[in-house]
Amino acid sequence: MTVTAIVGANWGDEGKGKMTDVLAAGSSYVVRYQGGSNAGHTIINEYGKFALQMLPSGVFHPGVSNVIGPGVALDVETLLRELEVLQEKGVPAPRIFVSERVQVVLPYHRLFDQLEEERLGARSFGSTRRGIAPFYSDKYAKLGIQAGDLLNRDRLERRLQHALESKNILLQHLYGQEPIQAASLIPQLLDWGTKLRPYLRDTTALLHKAWANGESILLESQLGALRDPDHGIYPHSTSSSTLAGFAPVGAGLPPYAVTNILAVVKAYSSCVGAGPFVVELDGEQADELRRRGGDAGEYGAVTGRPRRVGWFDAVATRYGCRIQGATAIALTNLDVLGYLEKIPVCTSYELADGTVTDAFPVGAALDDCKPRLEYMDGWHCDLSDCRSWDDLPAAAQRYVAFIEEASHVPVTHVSIGPRREQLIGR
């Protein structure tokens, strides 16, 4: 029996969608276990290019069951829109199961997200304004709405009235907005319930049975280790745990079910959103790396914002792999660095007092860190047609070996382009 968690080792945007899509071909189930529509997984295949925000990345494989687990922030409108897009592009209808216990992102979550970011102004956290922080605030304040509630009008109305008691005070007295009436939301939410009904299941029971039967299960994470609210660059984090340790909780499996943890690492660094980013480049260097990065450059799959970019950060990656408990690394975007004669890599940080460290500091110290760089020989050629490890130039092989040594985790997959066939196994 194989349960594999596919997670990000850095700030997100590492290429988890592609890895999940490729590995899904040999799996029975793909499960989203946390996060919402605030980040996208980009996948390119024979049907076109897709940036999935809500659907699991196994939807392009007809034999795969795709599960949205109870730990997810379910954006119903995004889910339904993505299903329509798949249909329009000729993708066979995927097999989808949505947990009855998953909680739903509501219209007022997006409203509060927008209002708070506007109120904070220059102090904002760079939110995608998809309602994620207000959603998780409600979830842990026990004010959330489960998908199963959308099928029961009386219960739904009671839950909404309870949640809106405090929210309307904030709307009126903090944000200067009109209060929201529960009755105004009921028709839309009941309609969501009707549309979700065919997909709703006890997904925990479903996955326990699959696991007991020895079926292969992929658990798909959103964002990366450094965006985790407990272990990341808080407060510039997301609102759900991005770690493999949360995967069995958010999916509904026992903790000992997860036996493989594949940490996805980019061959350089990129980041969308605010927060400390020690290796960040600016000017022409940043523009060129951003322009060359990925299939269409380094721009957020959801926001379209230019990603902040920098050289590979061994300090952050080693830390990210450690807190993920990574058993293997999938290295992506190696091909992007082919334009460089010498490739800078960050091997340690210099703290504000001049101390040099190879440990990832707490946020209070991270803001003032400077990267200490070393340089590796580049391969200065196009890797996109390589199909085996031996096809890679010696300099590219040495670069992979450096990342493996710096991270203390074996690199088992190397991606040299956005398509499925551009993945080399080691």
Q: Where in the sequence numbering do the catalytic residues fall?
A: 13, 41
**Phi, psi at 98, each rounded to 5°:** -115, 130
What is the token pair recorded at 333? 């975007």
What is the token pair recorded at 188? 């839309």
In the chain, how many H helices and how many E strands? 12, 20
Distance CA 41, CA 38 (A): 10
Report the 10 Å Cβ neighbour count for 183. 10
In terms of Cα–Cα distance, which of 271, 268, 221, 295 is closest to 42?
A: 295
Asked if 285 and 343 count as a contact pair (C-beta separation under 8 A), the reply is no
Neighbouring residues of 277: CB distance < 8 A, sequence distance ≥ 6: 11, 269, 271, 308, 310
Distance CA 247, CA 237 (A): 18
In terms of Cα–Cα distance, which of 122, 182, 195, 121 is closest to 153?
A: 182
